[in-house]
Amino acid sequence: MSDIHAHSVAFVRDTQLPPAPPPVAETGVVKWLRENLFANWANGLLTIAALYVIYLVASATVPWIVRGVWNTDSLAQCREVLDGVSGACFSVISERWNQLLFGFKYPSELYWRPSLAFAMLFVAAAPVLFFDLPRKLLIFTGLYPFIAFWLIWGGSILTPIVALAGFIIGYFVYERLVTGSFAAGFFGGVATAFAIWFIGGWIIPDGAGLLALEQVPSRDLGGFMLNMMLGVVCVSLSLPLGIALALGRQSNLPLIKGVCVVFIEFVRGVPLITLLFVANVMLSYFFPPGSGVDLFLRVVIMITMFSAAYIAEVIRGGLAALPKGQYEAADSLGLDYPQAMRLIILPQALKISIPGIVNIAVGLFKDTTLVSVISMFDIVGMIRGPILASTEWNGVYWELFMAASVLFFVVCYGISQYSQWLERRLATDHR
């Protein structure tokens, strides 16, 4: 056998060939290009067309941005400097940057206060967002709303302290009474808190000077700060409210169920802008002049109601997605309703609902720009009103709205990345 073989074959290699590099077309950039961009002639055509479009857009915008002027005093000067060449006039952003961030009425020597509150927001939000962090940080999260209120609005530190005391004492009363019945605990706690606030408001003299910061009225808030404040406050308030509404809608008690259904359906059936007009225009008819509720608070209430209704429906979807066995398992373990919800149902339902909730949070944050139509000067209101109406900057659009979209994009992209991390972190199914 081997003889025949030796005779029929002229040459037999008895050493192994050295490994050769793969063919050029099957490796590195070329392979990637071939497989992804030019897999067949149709894809190749599309790629070339897309490249051409990208070239068109970039050749118009990149020189426009690169040639941008950053340090003139007015649009007319910008045009002089550019001298007929197309280029951006970013001077408006450098001159009005503080107004874009803080509005035009927040005292400039006090900018450090909202900036500090913003920096502290990260510390306060961290333990809520990343649960690997030490739990003790949550104490700071609890204190944060009061600190931020004091920093941004100013005034005596006694006001937030009394507000905090009301919450804490109310909670202790609730703890004591809740063992008897939930209703007694709930209403007892609420009543105590109100009593503390009432007495506190009565005791604190007007203009008390203890650690008083210069007061800034709500009307003076503005710019991107206003968007951030509305976004953060409304999202954090509407999440618990939305959970409560979603559970209420599934309740067996007809009254609670009815109230929740009517609330959700009514709020979902009305555009947000209508609610904002009600907050701004209608409510001032109902209150005597000068004694109305603060406009910022009115807007917060309206936006919170609005997003709570949507979040409730998203969470209801999560609740509906759970197999009936989960509810029955909780019952068979002998858990009562709050325990079953807290330990078994909600953790699963909320996990399913994360993409939906984040979707609404991002949408809500962007919807805060709607307040510009009720003459509040958020970042869009600042651009459309005072900045474009000034004699120096009348006629600058792209640069300003680009700045606004960059600010919004950074925040919204951050939220979306966080939610994706959270979904990976919570993934318990074994794929």
Contact 191, 71 (CB under 8 A): no
CB-nearer residue toward other proteins: 95 or 313: 95
Tokens of 92: 């408006």
Residue 72 in contact with other proteins, rule: CB under 8 A: no
DSSP-assigned beta bridge partners for residue 378: 223
CB-nearer residue toward other proteins: 99 or 238: 99
Q: Which of residues 277-296 bind other proteins (CB under 8 A)?
A: 277, 280-281, 284-285, 288-291
* Shortest spacing between CB 284 and other proteins, in angstroms: 4
* Shortest spacing between CB 375 and other proteins, in angstroms: 5
Return d(Cα 25, Cα 347) in angstroms, integer: 51
Question: Out of 2, 8, 40, 108, which residue is the one contacting other proteins (CB under 8 A)?
Answer: 108
Question: Out of 186, 397, 413, 421, which residue is the one contacting other proteins (CB under 8 A)?
Answer: 397
DSSP letter at 250?
T
Q: What are phi and psi of 96, to 5 degrees?
A: -105, 20
* Shortest spacing between CB 380 and other proteins, in angstroms: 11
Give the other-Cβ count within 10 Å of 315's Cβ: 26
CB-nearer residue toward other proteins: 99 or 192: 99
CB-nearer residue toward other proteins: 75 or 305: 75
Q: Which of 359, 385, 362, 363 is nearest to 372 (CA)?
A: 385
Residue 104 in contact with other proteins, rule: CB under 8 A: yes
Question: Out of 31, 105, 257, 351, which residue is the one contacting other proteins (CB under 8 A)?
Answer: 105
Q: Which of residues 317-336 bind other proteins (CB under 8 A)?
A: none
Contact 68, 93 (CB under 8 A): no
Question: Out of 6, 24, 76, 123, which residue is the one contacting other proteins (CB under 8 A)?
Answer: 76
Question: Out of 17, 66, 255, 389, which residue is the one contacting other proteins (CB under 8 A)?
Answer: 389
Return d(Cα 343, Cα 241) in angstroms, integer: 19
Residue 114 in contact with other proteins, rule: CB under 8 A: no
* Shortest spacing between CB 73 and other proteins, in angstroms: 9
CB-nearer residue toward other proteins: 76 or 199: 76
* Shortest spacing between CB 111 and other proteins, in angstroms: 12
| SS3 category, 160 | helix
In this structure, what is the dihedral angle of CA atoms 200, 201, 203, 208, given to the nearest 10 degrees?
110
Q: Which of 277, 272, 349, 278 is nearest to 312 (CA)?
A: 349
In this structure, what is the dihedral angle of CA atoms 53, 55, 60, 65, given to the nearest 10 degrees?
120
Return d(Cα 392, Cα 73) in angstroms, integer: 7
Question: Out of 88, 96, 235, 341, which residue is the one contacting other proteins (CB under 8 A)?
Answer: 96
DSSP letter at 218?
G
Please measure the distance between the N-terminal and C-terminal CA atoms of the chain and give it in whole angstroms.
Answer: 53
Which region, judged by CB under 8 A, interacts with other proteins, from 71-79, 172-180, 309-317, 407-415? 71-79
Residue 373 in contact with other proteins, rule: CB under 8 A: yes
CB-nearer residue toward other proteins: 31 or 79: 79
Q: Which of 233, 218, 223, 224 is nearest to 125 (CA)?
A: 233
Which region, judged by CB under 8 A, interacts with other proteins, from 129-137, 158-166, 333-341, 371-379? 371-379
Residue 381 in contact with other proteins, rule: CB under 8 A: yes
Q: What is the CA radius of gyration of the chain?
A: 30
* Shortest spacing between CB 58 and other proteins, in angstroms: 21
Residue 377 in contact with other proteins, rule: CB under 8 A: yes
Question: Out of 252, 391, 428, 431, which residue is the one contacting other proteins (CB under 8 A)?
Answer: 391
The residue type of 419 is S
* Shortest spacing between CB 96 and other proteins, in angstroms: 6
Residue owning tokens 């308030």: 237
Q: Tell me the residue length of the chain.
A: 431
CB-nearer residue toward other proteins: 12 or 389: 389
Return d(Cα 293, Cα 289) in angstroms, integer: 10
Q: Which residues bind other proteins (CB under 8 A)?
A: 75-76, 79, 95-96, 99, 104-105, 108, 219, 277, 280-281, 284-285, 288-291, 373-375, 377, 381, 384-391, 394-395, 397
